[in-house]
Amino acid sequence: MRFSAPFLSVVATYLAVGVQANPVASPEVNITARTTYFSGLATYYNPNGNYGACGARMQNSDFIVALSPAHYHNGAHCWQHLNVNYESKDIDVTIGDLCAECTTEGIRLSSGAFSALAPLSAEIISVVWNFE
Report the CATH number at residue 96: 2.40.40.10
Q: CA-to-CA distance for 39 and 33, rounded, in angstroms?
A: 16
Domain carrying residue 96 = 31-131
Q: CA-to-CA distance for 12 and 30, rounded, in angstroms?
A: 32
pLDDT at 35: 81
If one counts the domains in the chain, the total is 1
Q: What are phi and psi of 100, to 5 degrees?
A: -60, -30
Q: CA-to-CA distance for 62 and 112, rounded, in angstroms?
A: 6
Contact 98, 45 (CB under 8 A): no
In a domain, 67, yes or no: yes
In a domain, 20, yes or no: no
In a domain, 110, yes or no: yes
| pLDDT for residue 2 is more than 80 | no
Beta strand ranges found along the chain (DSSP E): 38-45, 64-67, 81-86, 89-98, 107-110, 125-131
Instruction: Out of 3-12, 35-44, 65-74, pick the least confident.
Output: 3-12
In a domain, 36, yes or no: yes
pLDDT at 34: 64
Neighbours of 82 (CB within 10 A): 23
pTM over cut 0.75: no
Q: Read off the pLDDT of residues 12-66 as tens digits, 9 standing for 90 and up.
A: 444 444 444 444 444 444 444 568 999 999 999 999 999 999 999 999 999 999 9
In a domain, 14, yes or no: no
| pLDDT for residue 128 is more than 60 | yes
pLDDT at 89: 97
In a domain, 71, yes or no: yes
